[in-house]
Amino acid sequence: MEAEKLKNLLNHWIEHNEEHISKYKEWAQKIREDRRELSDLIVKSITYFERGNEILKKAMEMI
Q: What was the pLDDT predicted at 15? A: 98
Residue 31 has pLDDT above 90, yes or no: yes
Q: What was the pLDDT predicted at 23? A: 98
- Domain edges within the chain: 2-61
**d(C-alpha 6, C-alpha 1), whole Å:** 9
Residue 35 has pLDDT above 90, yes or no: yes
pLDDT band for position 29 (cuts 50, 70, 90) = very high
Mean pLDDT of 51-55: 98
**d(C-alpha 2, C-alpha 18), whole Å:** 24
Q: What was the pLDDT predicted at 60? A: 95
Q: Could you tell me the pTM of the whole model?
A: 0.84
